[in-house]
Amino acid sequence: MEHKLGNLKPNEALIYERADGVVYARYRDPPHNQIPRWIVGGDAGAVSRAQGTLLHYGDWQDLCDLCQENETLKKQMDKLVTTYWIIKDSK
């Protein structure tokens, strides 16, 4: 369940936890403590991984920069981008 600030339960205590660079929140007291914890912040890379994202923006930028220095990586990235456009255009 995804929570946004407007969806929080009024006057309910929250517990904040940090795991693997991600900060989570969950309700402390019943019956709301049965709601799964949700991400509220943390390291950008760790949050991306926790959300199942392949790369966060900083990693993507690093990858693009590295393509300028590594011909093999650049060729693979060109193939990836071509495949992306083919799939995107076919939708």
Give pLDDT, residue 62: 94
Distance CA(83)–CA(30), nearest Å, equals 49
Parallel/antiparallel/unpaired status of strands 22-27 and 38-42: antiparallel
CA end-to-end span of the chain:
29
Q: pTM of the prediction?
A: 0.67
Q: How confident is the model at residue 7 (pLDDT cuts 50, 70, 90)?
A: confident
Sheet holding 22-27, edge to edge: 14-19, 22-27, 38-42
Q: Are residues 34 and 75 in the same domain?
A: no
Distance CA(36)–CA(29), nearest Å, equals 13
Q: Are residues 59 and 45 in the same domain?
A: no
| Tally of domains in the chain | 2
Q: To 10 degrees, the CA torsion angle through 48, 54, 55, 57? A: -70
Domain that holds residue 36: 1-53
